[in-house]
Homo-oligomer: A and B are copies of this chain.
Amino acid sequence: MKDVKAYIEANRERFLEELFELIRIPSISAESEHKPDMLRCAEKWKEFLLKAGCDKAEVMPTEGNPVVYGEKIIDPAKPTVCVYGHYDVMPVAPLELWRTSPFEPVVKDGKIWARGADDDKGQSFMQAKAFEFMVKTGQLPCNVKFMLEGEEEIGSPSLYGFCEQHKELLKSDVILVCDTSMIAPDVPSITSGLRGLCYWEVEVTGANHDLHSGIYGGAVANPINILCKMIASLHDENGHITIPGFYDDVLVISDEERALMAQAPFNEEAYKKELDIKAVHGEKGYTTKERTGIRPCLDVCGIWGGHTGEGSKTVLPSKAYAKISTRLVANQNFHKISDLFQHHFESIAPDCVRVKVTPCHGGAAYVSPLEMKAYQAAEKAMETTYGKRPIPTRSGGSIPIVAGFENILGTKSILMGFGLGSDDIHAPNENYPLEQFFKGIETIPYFYEYFAR
């Protein structure tokens, strides 16, 4: 890949300006008032794909937000890379914790600060710019298909059906995904596994309306107290999840593989210091990396009920709510887990309250074998630009659609991400180091080169 560094250097400012145009569109898929922004963002992507060198590009409707599809077919006999990314972003609340406006990107301290700077506008835009470089310098060795969705952050509800409908159009030899992290700027890594996900909203109802906490307190069930008790009971004293059958399908990882994983550099003291915590907390018998890499977990992502405003209102509320999610590992079926949770949560409700469980989204875990040609191409690409062999890691995060691609399209994915743990994706002050952004653009063309050989 001749002159890739020089091309990046010459186009540096334009790349950033273009990315910022995407970031400025607040394409929050979880909030319905942003529907028009989803369409604007998709149209903007179509424009960029055509400019970058696609022969054709279109905004294709789905049941939800559209998919942006683009392609450049140089020779049907050559291998085809399908680029996957998403143009939707996470909500931004609590807004008061942002140091800069989430949708007005700022470059400071060598980083881009904005919602979507990394996840996934920054990372998917690297793919577009790497493609542009190969096209403009006549070095593109593969056919390329772009598939950019607008619902990743809400579980890709429409993309499964879209893939079913367009199997032929989306046919490729590998799907390249830049939506994960590497260990450190000088420790390249490739995500060889992802956790799955299952998410529910629960509602606990006591009396049919809010009551005076003096007149009724002590005699009528308080749905907040009950909800707390139910949530507390979901873990035992060793941090194991108590839902019957929850661990049944979890694969036991061999001691040998655990020993191998333990070689990845990890400084628990630095980890604790960065998060400002005195102690880590999780399932007994596993290390921190194992707890996020090879073990499932259960977290309350949100809880609310009663008086949450200023002052000390004495109320015995009628309702309490929580959003609860589990992360799943390979071989756990998220449909089965969804049913197990719902059944268990309803079964532990005392008869003084009513409980409603609403399943939200879910997705399976994914594992990418290290023997695969595409994995080895990614390994060599990173070795070329970083000067060292990347470490295979298992991420605690989830990209449920990646397991979907395998099931529906029969295509494996490669998760070559350039994010860092400090990028605060899904949190206030999301950021993405310029160094990672440009290094990603530099590395991706080598993946194409080695994959085409």
Q: Name A residues whose Cβ lies closer than 8 Å to a Cβ of B.
A: 29-32, 90-91, 93-94, 97, 153-155, 181, 195, 197, 199, 201, 206-222, 224-225, 227-229, 231-233, 235, 275-283, 288-289, 291-292, 295-317, 320-323, 325, 327, 350-354, 360-361, 395-398, 421, 424-429
Contacts and interface: CB of A to CB of B under 8 A. Distances in A.
Given A292-B215, A396-B217, A304 B308 contact: yes
A325 B213 contact: yes
A242 to B, nearest CB: 13
A312 B360 contact: yes
A90 B314 CA distance: 9
A222 B351 contact: no
A91 to B, nearest CB: 6
Nearest to A226: B281
Given A225-B231, A228-B231, A213 B299 contact: yes
B315 A276 contact: no
A335 to B, nearest CB: 16
Contacts of A279: 221, 350-352
B222 A300 contact: yes
Nearest to A222: B299
Contacts of A275: 206-208, 211, 216, 220
Q: Chain copies in the assembly? A: 2
B181 A218 contact: no
What are the 10 tightest A-B residue pairs by CB atom distance, in nearest-first order? Answer: A30-B311, A218-B297, A214-B397, A302-B306, A221-B281, A232-B232, A281-B352, A208-B276, A302-B307, A207-B275
Given A303-B224, A312-B360, A214 B195 contact: yes
Contact of A232 (B229, B297, B304, B395): B229
**Chief secondary structure at chain A's binding surface:** loop
A124 B203 CA distance: 38
Contacts of A282: 218-220
Contacts of A222: 299-300
A314 B197 contact: yes
B219 A280 contact: yes
Contacts of A351: 278-279
Contacts of A217: 292, 297, 299, 325, 327, 396
A360 B97 CA distance: 26
A221 B291 CA distance: 12
B350 A425 contact: no
Contacts of A305: 300, 302-304
A324 to B, nearest CB: 9
Contact of A228 (B232, B295, B426): B232
A12 to B, nearest CB: 29
Contacts of A292: 214-219
17 contacts: A30-B313, A91-B313, A97-B209, A154-B311, A206-B275, A209-B427, A212-B427, A213-B301, A214-B395, A218-B283, A221-B280, A225-B231, A229-B235, A232-B233, A278-B354, A279-B351, A312-B361
A338 to B, nearest CB: 13
A313 B426 contact: yes
A301 B315 contact: yes
